[in-house]
């Protein structure tokens, strides 16, 4: 008998949203949600923020167990998919259970990137992707005064600022000349660096690691160009790789991510993919893109749900992202053009009465233009400006550089 099940592999943000979107379309009882982790889908962003600030904090489920039950969704916890037979439409779980499907959706996310020169499974080296990682790290931190971060990306900087606020001595080793260099403008990188340094964070730019010293399953020293740094606890924050092992085993096209079309369909009919693990067409300049954000995970899941149901909508995002680092709330909308394509950047101070006019918490926005077109807006401590900028870009509007520089005119005046 042919199955009409929809099997979702991966209980992260996109897997959870796909359940919700399919349930809204009346398809809950067709769904099997297969989770590698032993817990229901939970909010990942707080793991580098609030989680460490509140003693005893646990990961917050996106939806309660009763919600899945009410929708008729069958959830398989702690039982990852081991293999897929795409011809027979069957997945095998690690427990040996098999599920047949009409549609299979890969929502497998990413895995933390490892440093080839650093053995895995050292007792004092941590990465942060899952609630289990966060619990391990929190337990380790009880007996640790100094924490050394390798890599100054979003997750590393968020966690570094959090741990510093808890009284840890934190050092961040960044190999590049600027922080967050792949994701934000040079001006924002400089602001982030100076704010962290002013708050006392020891951030060392262009730190090239020459080697490590080890003792009984621990790294004890990091050899830098000019010194040997003693370390107690190391957090590796050098980015993430798409989790495409299953996709490759099936024979799906993968190019630094599972390749999907605008409807989230992979190279195999009846197999879809959503979230951090995908590489999708970026219509603006005929290239492809892989994003790691909650917005991308949720919106791709909504598109996939409709596509599976035969309403072939396309994913055409205006991407947005946020990061909380110490006193800074950073928000970005659009995509930062790579040099030499940035035509102009306009800095717009945020002048709401409640906002301090100066100092490290003062808000501002950076409006980036490619040619005549507004393509990206970065804001610092200016959430309302971010919301307006999002609406402006979503409506395809492009106020001129001189218009956005005029702080007397609220951004909402540009909305139609």
Ligand X SMILES: Cc1cc2nc3c(=O)[nH]c(=O)nc-3n(C[C@H](O)[C@H](O)[C@H](O)COP(=O)(O)OP(=O)(O)OC[C@H]3O[C@@H](n4cnc5c(N)ncnc54)[C@H](O)[C@@H]3O)c2cc1C
Which positions lie near ligand X, rule CB under 6 A?
9-15, 34-37, 44-45, 47-48, 80-81, 107-110, 128-129, 155, 243, 246, 275-277, 292-295, 297, 321-323
| Helix, strand, coil percent values for the chain (each to nearest 5) | 25, 30, 45
Residue closer to ligand X, measured from CB, 9 or 118: 9
Q: Find the shortest distance in angstroms from Cβ 353 to ligand X.
A: 28
Q: CB 271 → ligand X: shortest distance, Å?
A: 14
In the complex, least distance from residue 112 CB atom to ligand X, rounded to whole angstroms: 8
Q: CB–CB of 150/236 below 8 Å?
A: yes
Shortest CB 389 distance to ligand X, Å? 16
User: In this structure, are residues 159 and 138 in contact, taking their beta carbons and an 8 Å threshold?
Assistant: no
In angstroms, what CA-CA distances link 89 with 19, 75, 94, 112? 20, 19, 17, 30
Name residues whose C-beta falls within 8 Å of residue 375's C-beta, 6 or more positions apart in sequence: 334, 335, 336, 337, 368, 369, 393
Q: How far is the CB of 165 from ligand X (least distance, A)?
A: 16
Nearer to ligand X by Cβ, of 292 and 299: the residue is 292
Nearer to ligand X, 21 or 293 (CB): 293
- At its nearest, how many Å lie between ligand X and the CB of residue 11? 5
What angle is formed at CA 296 by the lines to CA 243 and CA 380, rounded to 5 degrees? 115
CB of 15 to ligand X, least distance (A): 5
Both structure tokens of 15: 């897997």
In the bound state with ligand X, the residue whose beta carbon lies nearer, of 79 and 223, is 79
Q: How far is CA 84 from the centre of its chain?
A: 27
Smallest gap from residue 64 Cβ to ligand X (A): 18
C-beta separation of 365 from 347 below 8 A: yes
Residue with nearest beta carbon to ligand X = 12
Pick between residue 107 and residue 304 the one whose CB is nearest to ligand X.
Answer: 107
Query: Which residue's structure tokens are 């309302």?
Result: 384
Task: Round to whole Å and give the CA distance between 36 and 11.
Answer: 7
3-class SS of residue 386: helix
Q: Which is nearer to ligand X, 12 or 28 (CB)?
A: 12
Based on CB atoms, which residue is closest to ligand X, 293 or 398?
Answer: 293
Question: 269: which residues sit within 8 A by CB, 6+ positions away?
Answer: none
**DSSP for residue 283:** G
- Is the CB of 192 or the CB of 297 nearer to ligand X? 297
């Amino acid at each position: 008998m042919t199955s009409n099940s929809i099997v979702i592999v991966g209980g992260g943000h996109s897997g959870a949203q796909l359940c919700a979107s399919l349930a809204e379309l009346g398809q809950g009882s067709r769904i099997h949600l297969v989770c590698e982790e032993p817990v229901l889908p939970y909010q990942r962003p707080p793991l580098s923020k609030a989680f460490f600030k509140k003693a005893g904090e646990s990961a917050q489920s996106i939806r309660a167990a009763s919600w899945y039950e009410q929708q008729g969704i069958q959830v398989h916890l702690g039982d990852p998919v081991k293999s897929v037979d795409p011809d027979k439409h069957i997945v095998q779980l690690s427990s040996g259970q098999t599920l047949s499907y009409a549609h299979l959706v890969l929502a497998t996310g990413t895995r933390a990137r490892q440093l080839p020169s650093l053995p895995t499974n050292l007792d004092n080296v941590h990465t942060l992707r899952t609630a289990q990682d966060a619990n391990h790290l929190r337990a380790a931190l009880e007996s640790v005064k100094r924490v050394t971060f390798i890599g100054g990306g979003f997750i590393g900087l968020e966690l570094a600022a959090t741990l510093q606020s808890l009284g840890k001595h934190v050092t961040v080793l960044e190999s590049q000349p600027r922080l967050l260099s792949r994701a934000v403008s040079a001006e924002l990188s400089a602001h982030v660096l100076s704010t962290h340094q002013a708050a006392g964070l020891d951030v060392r730019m262009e730190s090239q690691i020459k080697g490590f010293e080890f003792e009984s399953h621990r790294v004890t020293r990091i050899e830098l160009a000019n010194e040997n740094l003693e370390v107690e606890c190391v957090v590796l924050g050098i980015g993430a790789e798409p989790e495409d092992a299953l996709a490759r085993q099936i024979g799906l096209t993968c190019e630094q991510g599972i390749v999907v079309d605008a409807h989230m369909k992979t190279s195999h009919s009846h197999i879809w993919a959503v979230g951090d693990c995908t590489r999708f067409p970026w219509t603006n300049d005929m290239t492809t893109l892989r994003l790691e954000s909650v917005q991308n995970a949720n919106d791709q899941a909504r598109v996939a749900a409709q596509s599976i149901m035969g309403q072939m909508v396309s994913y055409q995002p205006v991407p947005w992202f946020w990061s909380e680092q110490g006193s800074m709330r950073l928000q970005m909308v659009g995509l930062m053009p790579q040099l030499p394509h940035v035509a102009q950047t306009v800095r717009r101070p945020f002048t709401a009465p409640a906002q301090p006019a100066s100092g490290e918490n003062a808000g501002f926005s950076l409006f980036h233009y490619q040619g005549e077109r507004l393509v990206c807006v970065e804001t610092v401590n200016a959430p309302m400006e971010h919301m307006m900028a999002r609406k402006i870009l979503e409506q395809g509007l492009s106020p001129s550089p001189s218009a956005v520089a005029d702080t007397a005119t609220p951004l909402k005046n540009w909305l139609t």
